[in-house]
Each structure stands twice: as C-alpha cells, then as structure tokens.
Amino acid sequence: MSTHGNQVRGHGKSERATALEGVSNVLPAPRAEILQKQANRPHVQELFLCWGAWALLTVLGAGATSLAFNAYHFGIAGAWSHFLADPTCGGLMFAIPVAVLCGTLRQGFQVWRWSLAGGLGVAAAKAFGARDPAMDLKERVAALGARAGLPSGCPRVFVVPTPEPNAFAAGHTPDDSVVAVTTGLLNTTNLSSDELDAVLAHEIGHISNGDCASGKQIAVMVAGFSSLLSIGVYLMDSTSRSSKNDKKDNSATFAVAIIFAGALLYSLGYLLQSWHSRRREFVADEAAVALTGTGALAGALAKIEQASWATQSGRALAEEKPEFSHLYISSHSDRNSGFFGLVSNLLRSHPQTYEREEAIRQTLQKVGLTVDQLPETRSTV
C-alpha cells in the first residue's frame, strides 16, 4: 500500500483524531483525510441536538394531547379557547413529560447496568448467543481496527449463529466495543476476501465514529416515548375493571389521551432514530472505503441483499433485537414496511442498497479511484 508523508490535521482534535495522525503515514492522504474529518466531527453538538429534539417532541406531544383532550370535552369549536386558557388541563398533562422522563431514565439505568456487566458490546453479543470466531476473522478485525486508530485489542470479535447474512457493531466506547458477524454472512453470501474486509471495516467505522454510543442514546429516548404508551395501555386496562361509572369515564378519557400521546411521540421518535441511522450508515460506508481502499463494500451489499431473500424464513435480527438495528450492515425487516415508497423510506433504518452504492462510487472518486480502476483483489490482513 502506498504511503504519504503529509499528515492530515484538524482543530480541536479528539483522542481518536490524535491516534489517526499516527496512521496517516500508512494510508494515502485522501483516505486519511476522510477518517480525520470523521474523527473531528462534533459528536457532542449532535447529541445535544438529539436530546433537544427529544425535549421538544415531549412538549409538543403534551400540547397535542391537551388539545385533543379539550376537543373531546368541549368539541372542536371550543377546543382551542380552552387549550389557551388551561394548556395543562388542570395539571394532568404534566404526567406526560414525567412519564417520558421516568421511562428514559429507566432504560438509561438498564444500559448502565449492562456497561457494568462486562460492557455494552459484550452484553449485546451475548444477547444473540454469540461465540468466539476463527483466528482469521480476529486477525482481519485487528488489522482494520489498528488502521482506524482504535486501541490495541479493540474491537472484540464474535460470531452469531443465525442463517441471516448480517453483521453489527456495539459498545459504548472503543474499549468495550465488539464486531459480530453471523454464520449466514460467512457461509451463504460467497463474499470475497475484499468484500468481507469491507463489511468488517464498515462496522469498525461505526465504532470509531461513536455511532454505537449515539445510537444507543437515541434508542433510550425512544424507549422513554414507548413507556408512555405502555402506561396508557395499563391505565386503560385498570379503568375497564373499575366499578364507578363517573370515575371510570374520566379515567378512560385520560388513558386514551396518554395512549394518543405515547403513540404520537413513539412514531416521531422512531422517525428521528431512523433518520439518524440512515445518515450514519453513509458515514460508515465512507469509512469502509477509506480503510480498505476498494469499492468492495458495494459488491458485499448486493450479495447480502440477494442472500437475505433466500434466508427470509424466521425473524430478522432487526426484528428480534430492534435496539441494535441502527448498527447492522443491512436491515432486512423493512422488506414489507409500507405501501407507499415515501413512507417506507422514512421508516427504514438503512438507506436502500442502490443509494449506498452510489455514495460509495462518489467516495471512490473522492479518493482518486473509480469503479473501473479498483485495485486487484487482496486481503487487508
């Protein structure tokens, strides 16, 4: 692999950005520049924006529920005036942000417990029944991890025993990160050496760019919204067993309002999570091209998509463990996710394969390669 002496430098370097300066003399300058720019991305600002969106959605959800509550009691004509006079419905609507906050804290506490029990990455791998891989796979990941500027020995590697062709990354930090591939990916897709390296590099791109941590935080936000829906269903169930009619009617109305708020907020939160996931997939694809110097990921994605149709019996990983869907190499659960193309695309956790292939071509041109001028097939180990 050719070398260049010029190092790519940025302002306000992160720990990983500093580590990448040590490997910038290994990668050609255009590829090193891509990794350096990704390392210097303002992660904190992005998370602040996401948490700001969480708070804004919670307030808007409470407001919409209050308006619907008033419309039920006073009719559509009088709903707005009563909403302006008492937007919290006598304080009832304060229950919505309180329930969302409690649900978010509860899920956050669960994530914290996972981090204490050997790390988030290992906990995620164990949730799928993962086992240790062959030495060849460990060596590939170690080489790519070092090239990405990750600490020595990171990430750990696991194999998940499932016929679905897929892979995922997990972990709060690079130190507790893991990359897991399925037996279906290894046995049924006929990936070339370069294509397997590209898939692994994509997952390492998620780790090195902090996508595992940010994606998990957004998942915690959405869990807070879903808890509101669960509370509403519980209240409705309790109300149905009540014997006092007047109290039953008021409680049922409030339960319906909570269910409405929970469904609205969960839907909006899921759209936010899917949007964030699609953005990060493109960035991880770009990192894979920079790390491998090939467009092999495009071929791997096509083979994975084709193989997924042949192994579509049973539940997809994205359905079995949706909390990690934003970090899979491919999400197959959305094959029947909507009647209309626009709605289907909004609900996707991953861009469509042809969109990713086009983005890969653009990255290849950015680093001075084209599809017709790819290096000969080779392993990165």
Alpha-carbon distance of 283 to 280, in angstroms, equals: 5
Closest CA to 61 of 99, 28, 32: 99
Alpha-carbon distance of 229 to 100, in angstroms, equals: 9
Closest CA to 175 of 128, 210, 199: 210
Tokens of 357: 């292939």
> Can 203 be counted among the known catalytic residues?
yes
Place of tokens 């609507």: 93
Q: Are 328 and 181 in contact (CB under 8 A)?
A: no
> Measuring CA to CA, how many Å separate 214 from each of 72, 102, 139, 272?
39, 20, 27, 12
> Measuring CA to CA, how many Å separate 125 from each of 102, 110, 137, 162, 232?
27, 16, 16, 13, 33
- Among the options 203, 281, 286, 357, which is catalytic? 203
The residues annotated as belonging to the active site are 203
